[in-house]
Structure 1
């Protein structure tokens, strides 16, 4: 299997002409009755061999980590990190296998951070917050090294996720009273992740290179970091929200829908789906539809989302036409 980036590389090395690739992409889009930009492509599997390799790699890494850990706890994590890098040299750098790339990245980054944490715990006298900060920094550095070598698109999102987890854990350990503001902390982190996603998106507006894949994973990370704190602040997760808060959830989902259309990404809609289903069914039950509220909510919202998917670019065209020109120029172009 090949990707859009493979086609672009073939043009760079002179195998194909740019106009031929453009015509090929237009032909594929015509056959699928959609725009290639509209598809939000990302690779998770390049074949069943991906699953086979992942199973074998996890077996190898798990046993190596367990055996090394019986000798000295940090040694197990070091072995997992080293083997993850060596396996990536072949299965990622040479074979370009999608799912093994994600799994080996996760094992390398997490094992690197765990090795530092276990080393600090076993050999040095240090409080928990500085230890977590040091281990998180090591994991983030490992993600950066992995990106420099293998360029796996999910790596940037993984590094941001490590930074978010490390920062929040260290702050809450150092100042426990901040737990009352944890939703605001996560919301701020989500805003930063969303800003990074848009920066990567705007470097590849036609969505034909690895930069678009990096933006996809960043949007996928930013969405829950934005959605869950917002609805938690409304009291949805604690079950304390009333009908007015439920109505606010539905209105917020409509706002998320407009934002998703504007940036041409669907992650916000998916992350908020469970909340809006719960809120909408609650509103219908208050209106007297006991028992059928959830089913009717799923029917209405599912139908709306399918219609939006079918007419995504038409809806987006109408939205962009109504936005200020200065704002529209900074958003991904129409397909």
Structure 2
């Protein structure tokens, strides 16, 4: 199985012409009776060896983390006697980088590349955050209590997230794994969230703090969504790595937006009234229209849990107590399958009804018409 990016690489290397690559894409689209634009292709598994290497890598990281933590315990490099040790995170990050040099740079394996990127960034955050915490503990000691302690810990978290963001940037410059940009964006969001938490610690009530953090997450989610749309706009035919980058950015932004909106509206307490249930459904329909317009399903998947709970409670209100879960699954499953079957037709009707200026910013309706640019980064 060949990815879109590998076809572009073959064109760039002169192995095939751009016309041949586009003809192949058009043929595959005709075989599937669907535009390739609407398929949301991204590389996850290139073969079972991806799973094999990913499982082996996960076992190795577990072992290195355990050994690193034990070494930290023995040397005293742990927080508060039994907390996380920077040695564990450092060993995981170093091994992840070394593995990526072979499995990502040379073998170009999809799933292991994602795993090793996540291990590198999380390991870096673990090592840096625990190291900063150890330094803060050594310098401040007993003052790490109360509101002051909360502020210091939030700032330590922000510094750890900043180090993770730098690590993601370095990894991107070296390996160009598409999920890296989304991981870096989440790290930057973590920096901002931690700074906001540090600024508010002790100054507002817990309830107010929760609402402010939810609003912050919503704003950051919208910012990541806008960033994702920039990557999407740079590849409207969705045939290069830029589309993969946008996919992961949308996947990161969707839960931040959806969870914040539904929580701020009080719709996730698990006890939805009929009115709240109708509101959840209305919001889900609105999200569905947005997902159709931008041709990304992440919004629908992120909001799925909320609409399932709301519908289940509504069926219970109407007396279908024993079958409420089954009826909910039947309605939602059938609706989503129907939408998937007619996704392209529904999207065509929706997009053609939008203003021309807005249509120009959305993914193409009919796929490749010309040879795509090879650059993996969006146009300015």
Coarse TM-score class (shorter-chain normalised): over 0.9
CA distance in 1 between counterparts of 2:192 and 2:284 reads 28
After TM superposition, give the deviation of residue 294 of structure 1 in Å. 2.8
> Does residue 1:285 correspond to 2:308, yes or no?
no
**1:107 match:** 119
Q: Counterparts of 1:246-265 in structure 2 under 5 Å? A: 246-265=277-296
**2:335 match:** 304
**1:96 match:** 108
Structure 1, 27-36 or 147-156: larger mean CA deviation: 27-36
Q: Counterparts of 1:205-284 in structure 2 under 5 Å? A: 205-239=236-270, 241-284=272-315
5+ residue gaps, structure 1, are none
Q: Deviations over 1:215-265 (max 9, x none)?
A: 001111111111111111222222454322211110011101110110011
CA distance in 1 between counterparts of 2:274 and 2:110 reads 45
Aligned CA distance change for structure 1 residues 290 and 79 (closer, same or farther; 3 Å): closer
Aligned CA distance change for structure 1 residues 67 and 255 (closer, same or farther; 3 Å): same
| Count of aligned pairs | 335
CA distance in 2 between counterparts of 1:245 and 1:195 reads 29
RMSD of Structure 2 on Structure 1 (CA): 1.8
Question: TM-score of the superposition, structure 1-length normalised?
Answer: 0.94
CA distance in 1 between counterparts of 2:363 and 2:48 reads 34
Q: Does the aligned pair in 1 maintain the 2:155–2:194 contact within 8 Å?
A: no
**1:324 match:** 355
CA distance in 2 between counterparts of 1:174 and 1:240 reads 34
SS in 2 for 1:7: helix
Q: Deviations over 1:45-72 (max 9, x none)?
A: 1222222222322333333333334144
Q: Deviations over 1:267-326 (max 9, x none)?
A: 111111121122123223333433323322221222121111111111111111211222
Q: Counterparts of 1:1-335 in structure 2 under 5 Å? A: 1-69=1-69, 70=71, 71=75, 72=77, 73-124=85-136, 125=139, 127-176=152-201, 177=204, 178-239=209-270, 241-335=272-366
Q: Does the aligned pair in 2 maintain the 1:264–1:332 contact within 8 Å?
A: yes
CA distance in 2 between counterparts of 1:281 and 1:86 reads 48
CA distance in 2 between counterparts of 1:59 and 1:257 reads 39
After TM superposition, give the deviation of residue 189 of structure 1 in Å. 1.3
5+ residue gaps, structure 2, are 78-84, 141-151, 367-380
Q: Does the aligned pair in 2 maintain the 1:172–1:179 contact within 8 Å?
A: no
CA distance in 1 between counterparts of 2:45 and 2:89 reads 27
SS in 1 for 2:228: helix
Aligned CA distance change for structure 1 residues 192 and 111 (closer, same or farther; 3 Å): same
CA distance in 1 between counterparts of 2:313 and 2:271 reads 12
Q: Does the aligned pair in 2 maintain the 1:129–1:174 contact within 8 Å?
A: no
Structure with more relative contact order (C-alpha pairs < 8 Å, separation 6 or more): 2
Q: Deviations over 1:2-37 (max 9, x none)?
A: 211111111122111111111111111111221111
Q: Does the aligned pair in 2 maintain the 1:234–1:241 contact within 8 Å?
A: no
Structure 1, 88-97 or 31-40: larger mean CA deviation: 31-40
Aligned CA distance change for structure 1 residues 235 and 241 (closer, same or farther; 3 Å): farther
